[in-house]
Amino acid sequence: MGLSTEAPAELEQFTALLAGFREKLDRALADWLEAKRGEAVAAGSPETLELIDGVGQLATHGGKRLRPALVYYTYRACGGEADGDVLPLALSTELLHTYLLIHDDIMDHAEIRRGLPAAHVRFREAHRAHGLHGDAADFGRSVAILLGDLAQAWAVELAAFGRGPAPRELARGFAAMCQEVIGGQYLELLVAQRRAASEEELLRVLRLKSGRYTAERPIQLGALLAGATPETLAGLSRYGAAVGEAFQLQDDLLGMFGDPETVGKPVDADLKEGKYTFLIHHALTRATPVQRRTLEAALGNPDATPEQSGAALRVIAETGARDAVSAMIRERLEEARSALAALDLRPDGRLFLAGLIDYLWEREQ
């Protein structure tokens, strides 16, 4: 599979559409945070102000805004025209993502997020700077949990604004998205602790933690809000599942072989944390005994030296695991393109969905 003949133009249009949406979403986010700050001031609650600003620092700094953009442009693709109806739902998915990032960083012992100190790190250092009593690391983790809880509460509040012809289905879809990503996270933890998994288990992690959460469910929410037919919903779900899985597989590759500036964290972080992904599965399955020992010396070892990490990454490449995951990505992008071709959608929404496929293809090169 390669880029379509119109891909360069589609990519430019996709980039422009995403940039235009980001401006809308960032304005909506700024308005939301300002309204929440005003409520806290009126209530005489300075501690709540600190929490609001703690969430805001992560939510407003970087991020692709892919999930809310998929809500928005799928809504447009299916005939929706009212920004006032769709933006709250789009913002809801971004705040849900913020909540999950904050809690993920605690579970992953990650120090950096989007090039900045992770939330638990910021409050750990604030504890030390102010000379507070007790354990600084415990304080940082505890406050970060509260920040995630607050972002999740806002996500639910905004999702409840959903209008459109199927509010009950919207509520079910949003709840399912929350439950699936949490279930996927739990399964990922179990797999990492066992350091073994069947391909079916890894596929379930891929589908629950990313395929549905990153693309399929946001797409369904936008389509439901616009009143899409069951046939259109089914085709969009097929597209979304394939795109979401491709996106996560690419993130796994970038987490091992990417540019730290682009990834926003050290590229050996996933390796040291012991994440058991398809990359690791394929590498361990194909490794010689010597290669296996080299990989296992760094996998799940937070004290792995740069030399150990580098040797482990070479094993992943030499065993063909990197190429195997790249092939999985290409298969899913082909599936997404096929699903999209069969759908009757409005032009600007279709353009965004088609451009996303080409964006992911180029990201793979």
- Give the pLDDT of the chain (365 residues) as one tens digit per residue: 455 545 677 788 999 999 999 999 999 999 999 999 999 999 999 999 999 999 999 999 888 899 999 999 999 999 999 999 999 999 999 999 999 999 999 998 888 888 889 999 999 999 999 999 999 999 999 999 999 999 999 999 999 875 667 788 899 999 999 999 999 999 998 988 887 788 999 999 999 988 899 999 999 999 999 999 999 999 999 999 999 999 999 989 988 887 766 665 666 788 888 889 999 999 999 999 999 999 999 998 989 999 999 999 999 999 999 999 999 999 999 999 999 999 999 998 999 999 999 999 887 65
Q: Three-state secondary structure along 243-309?
A: HHHHHHHHHHHHHHHCCHHHHCCCCCHHHHHCCCCHHHHHHHHHCCHHHHHHHHHHCCCCCCCHHHH
Q: How many domains does the chain have?
A: 1
Is there a domain that residue 2 lies in?
no
Is there a domain that residue 365 lies in?
no
Q: Tell me which residue range forms the domain holding 348.
A: 7-358
Angle between helices 278-286 and 289-298 (to 10 degrees): 150
Phi and psi angles of residue 195, each rounded to the nearest 5 degrees, phi first: 55, 40
In CATH, what number is assigned to the domain containing residue 281?
1.10.600.10
Is there a domain that residue 216 lies in?
yes
Is there a domain that residue 363 lies in?
no
Is there a domain that residue 1 lies in?
no
Is there a domain that residue 364 lies in?
no
For the chain, give the number of residues. 365
Residue type, 190: L
Is there a domain that residue 158 lies in?
yes
pTM of the model: 0.91
Please say whether the beta carbons of 358 and 352 come within 8 A.
no
Please say whether the beta carbons of 244 and 212 come within 8 A.
yes
Is there a domain that residue 139 lies in?
yes
